[in-house]
Amino acid sequence: MPTFQYAARNARGEIIKGRADSQNQNTLARMLRDQGLVPTSIEVGGAAGRSKSRIKGKGGKIKLEDMVIMSRQFATMIRAGLPLLEVLNILSEQAEKRALQQVMRQIERDVQTGASLTEAMNKHPRVFNTFFLSMVMAGEAAGMLDTILDQIALYLEKVASIQRKIKSAVMYPTVVTTVAIGITCFLLVKVVPVFSGIFTDLGGQLPLPTQITVTISTFLQHNYIIALAGLVIVIGSVIWAGRTSRGRYLLDSFKLKMPIFGPLFLKVAVARFTRTLGTLIGSGVNILNALDIVAKTANNVIVEGAVIKTRASIQAGESIAGPLRESEVFPPMVVRMIDVGERTGALESMLAKIADFYEDQVDTAVAGLTSMIEPLLIVFLGVVVGFIVISMFMPMFDMISLVSS
């Protein structure tokens, strides 16, 4: 049995130091608390039982993939019987991101001084959201922390997979559109002025397409600062509007109704709603608390509003399906399946089936969008560039006709 050196604070606030034999740090911390002492540090054999090496690692924001890896490792080590403090120390050493290392070290220190894992994680809301904290709390209360952490990792993997698919669906048209705008601006600023000078020297009336192209080119040459400022203002206005309640409502409503991408965003919202709610219910979280967490993690105020109304209806003694149907956000099939699951007592499994179905639908929709958008963007780029090129050659065709006649 290892020997630990500890420091603890008594009821008068005095620091008491000593040595004691114990199975692990958790057992010793509980023993000290039973004696009316609040442990401040517990070290193995009088030396630091935890690694004191300088924190190394990559910088950058903690991503969802980092949380998936951490949850998997956490569950594996807890299931293997490692003490919680030892697990937290290993996680802090293995984390690749410096920010996550620092968070795990702080959690380790808080747990070492007597805080529960949920209380320690609650101090880092930017890393552990409401869903994560509620799941961990349920796992601690039920003594199934390893199982709950596995469920968290599985859930985060599903969410990360959907996010990657959405990014891939949006990234391609964004890149192609940006390239098209860049090529168009280059032609208007560098190529068109050369032809415009030739047309001025020759004189005569220019065709309408040529006049339009020359006018746009002249504006960009002399007012490019205004054009850039206008673009910045538009982007800034959209970002600012997204931070207001009214603006966010309009933007989220537009996302669900916009052509081409609207059905995809709706499928993602349904998959996220059902996956989150099913995972929370399966972990033993109260239905009202689960719906509250789902609303906070919906990432869409339209869906959030529907979930909040559903929670209020359940609190008043009604079913889940009714408010979801009235919201007109969720497809009829989803509402009917939830209704059947609620009446048969198989809500958790029904929600999981809906989530699996809509995640597959997201895969299909992304593949379909990619195959459909690619030719559309090529046609768009061809029309824009072709219009500029033809408008520049039309006066030349007229001159050739005059010379030949």
Neighbouring CB atoms inside 10 A of 297's CB total 18
**What whole-number distance in Å separates Cα of residue 20 and Cα of residue 28?**
8
Cα 99 to Cα 91: distance, rounded to the nearest angstrom: 12
Separation of alpha carbons 340 and 29, rounded Å: 48
User: Burial code of 215-249, b = ≥16 C-beta within 10 A, e = fewer?
Assistant: eebeebeeeeeeeeeeeeeeeeeeeeeeeeeeebb
Helices (H), 283-346: 287-296, 301-315, 321-327, 332-344
Per-residue pLDDT of the chain (405 residues; tens, 9 = 90+): 567 777 777 766 677 788 887 776 667 777 877 887 777 667 665 444 444 444 455 666 888 888 888 888 888 888 888 888 888 888 888 888 888 888 999 998 888 888 888 889 989 988 888 888 888 888 887 778 888 888 888 888 888 888 887 777 777 778 877 888 888 888 888 888 887 777 776 666 778 888 888 888 888 888 778 878 888 898 888 888 778 888 888 888 888 888 877 888 888 888 888 888 888 888 888 888 888 888 887 778 888 888 888 888 888 878 788 888 887 888 888 888 988 888 888 888 899 899 889 888 888 887 777 777 778 878 888 888 888 888 887 777 766 665 555
Residues 33 and 24: their CA atoms lie apart, in Å, by 15
The reported pLDDT for the residue numbered 48 is 40
Report pLDDT digits (tens) over 311-343: 888 888 787 888 888 878 888 888 889 888 888
Q: Report strand pairing: 15-21 vs 38-44.
A: unpaired
pLDDT of residue 35: 81
pLDDT, tens digit, for every residue of 83-141?
888 888 888 888 888 888 889 999 988 888 888 888 899 899 888 888 888 888 888 87
The pLDDT assigned to 52 comes to 43
How far apart, in whole angstroms, are the C-alpha atoms of residue 376 and residue 5?
70
CA 277 from chain centre, in angstroms, equals 17
The per-residue pLDDT for 1 is 58
3-state helix, strand, coil in the chain (%, to 5): 75, 5, 20
